[in-house]
Amino acid sequence: MSLSFHSRCLLVLFCFIGFGFDFGQAFKVPFTVKDVLPVLPRQISWPVLNNFHSAVDLLPYFVGSVTPNNESIEWKGACFYGNEARLEFTEGDRDDTGLGGGVLYLKTSEAHSWTCMDLYVFATPYRITWDYYFSAREHTLEFDSWEEPAELEYVKQHGISVFLMPSGMMGTLFSLIDVLPLFSNTVWGQNANLGFLEKHMGATFEKRPKPWLATINPEDVHSGDFLAVSKIRGRWGGFETLEKWVTGAFAGHTAVCLKDEIGNLWVGESGHENERVISVMSMWSRVQPAYAANMWNEALNKRLGTEGLDLYGILAETERRGLAFDQLLSIPEQDEWVYSDGKSTTCVAFILQMYKEAGIFSFLSNSIQVTEFTIRDAYMLQIFENNQTRLPNWCNNGDGRLPFCQILGEYWMELPQYNTIKPYANMNENCPSLPPSYDRPVRC
């Protein structure tokens, strides 16, 4: 759609004001392009906002912890380049508890424009709150009373964690706009998933020639054949897209082929589903205590060798042992651990445990914990057929285009680094997974 003369003039004007010119000295502009884009005509604002903001902007940036013992902390914000915060205890509004409360003083200065604002999240393991600031002055955030003595002790020792939403209020909202369509079971939702994966992971979606469904000969399928599944539409498609983005996997689910004693073919599957970490976990513990206990409290107890501790007991025990919380999280999961609902069996761990029992990892079996593997880790294992001439005739791989069989799908399947890494002891126990490159150190 072409832009009107009025829109073109606005764009030129805002580019002039927002980016400025060098007149020998710097001057403070009244607003920048990023500040005013949301109120511009859609034909101008949306293409530019799509470049400025993404799902990554939903991730808060940890500024630091404010304790009553340190004088203050200072940092540079997205809007205000000069910020400092300090914390003071107060008597509180629950006199009978004797816990008191606190006031966090946050001073903002050096705004880069007249219309920007900064959005913050403040957290302890017992609460999460937020606030936004668009004026340069000292602001206050009051904590009327600490939830319980444990929170008071935590704040005394560790303070209140401060997180900055790096894209501010509007950036965060537009980042949500980038994510919410992923869960729509429509063509619009499918296109949103395709666009998200192309933008954030560098995926390519090239259409395959029809037919999009291969006619399988069950005699060519064997027990243990690995199935990688990728869904790009609907609620599960949205969850899979975010899971792919977080882990670097180009598939969202896995299953395995199994044959019974009379040759019937079956498909087996399982599931389809630091301080900054502590605060999120704590909030969920308050909302869903039973689910939280199963979700991570048991896992953390396993790592400590304890039983029955809730999150706050785990924090106390971790501190008593002189461990940082991120050190506790980094302790590898052990395949033999049994939880209240059984062993930990993600879709991919379920399959790799079968491979482990079948001897595929040979003498390395005792030194590989399959519960540490992601879907990406699994398909990168060098354990699959590498001779394409041995693939079945019905294998729709585009005359050798793919090193594996694609059974169905409108687009060609991508599995970067498929079948490339030989198994080794303690595999994947210390591997990072950071978008967009997902760099993997050798033998991590």
- pLDDT tens readout for residues 177-189: 667 788 788 898 8
**pLDDT attached to residue 88:** 93
Sign of CA dihedral 203, 209, 213, 219: negative
Residue among 86, 147, 125, 171 nearest 312 (CA): 125
In whole angstroms, give the CA distance from residue 35 to residue 6. 19
Per-residue pLDDT at 147: 81
- Is pLDDT of 94 > 60? no
Token pair for residue 26?
């710097």
* pLDDT attached to residue 314: 86
Sign of the four-CA dihedral 427, 429, 431, 434 = positive
Q: How far is 260 from 3, CA to CA, in rounded Å?
A: 65
Q: What type of residue sits at position 258?
A: L
Q: Cα–Cα distance between 89 and 442 in angstroms, integer?
A: 49
Please name the residue ranges forming H helices in 163-204: 168-179, 187-201
Question: pTM for this one?
Answer: 0.62
Tokens of 384: 């699959």
Cβ neighbours for 254, distance < 8 A, ≥ 6 positions apart: 226, 227, 228, 229, 269, 347, 348, 351, 375, 378
- Of 167 and 159, the structure prediction assigns the larger pLDDT to 159
What pLDDT score does 358 carry? 94
**Dist. CA 407–CA 46, nearest whole Å:** 38
- The whole-number average pLDDT for the span 400-415 is 91
The average confidence (pLDDT) of the chain is 78
Joined tokens for residue 387? 């001779």
Q: What is the pLDDT of residue 167?
A: 65
Q: Judge whether residue 326 has pLDDT over 50.
A: yes
Pick the most confident of 12-16, 96-100, 170-174, 325-329. Answer: 325-329
% of the chain at pLDDT higher than 90: 34
Whether the predicted pLDDT of 413 surpasses 60: yes
pLDDT value, residue 193: 92
**For the segment 194-224, what is each residue's pLDDT rounded down to a tens digit?**
999 998 899 999 999 888 998 889 999 999 9
pLDDT: which is higher, 26 or 304? 304
Residues 6+ apart with CB under 8 A from 335: 343, 349, 353, 356, 369, 370, 371
- The single residue listed with the structure tokens 């991919």 is 348
Most confidently modeled of 235-249, 259-273, 344-358?
344-358
pLDDT value, residue 142? 93
SS3 at position 405: coil
Q: How far, CA to CA in Å, does 69 sit from each of 66, 89, 140?
A: 9, 11, 18
DSSP state, residue 116:
-
pLDDT bin (cut points 50, 70, 90) of residue 76 is very high
User: What is the model's pLDDT at position 228?
Assistant: 95
**Overall average pLDDT of the 78-92 stretch:** 89
Q: Is the peptide bond before 166 cis (omega within 30 degrees of 0)?
A: no
Average pLDDT over residues 409-414: 93
> pLDDT category, 58, cuts 50, 70, 90?
low
pLDDT of residue 35: 45
Query: Alpha helix (H) ranges present in 20-90?
Result: 33-36, 42-52
Highest mean pLDDT among 65-74, 151-160, 374-383: 374-383
pLDDT of residue 303: 92
130 strand-pairing partners:
121
pLDDT per residue as tens digits for the range 270-324? 854 444 454 444 444 443 444 444 557 888 899 999 998 887 788 889 888 988 8
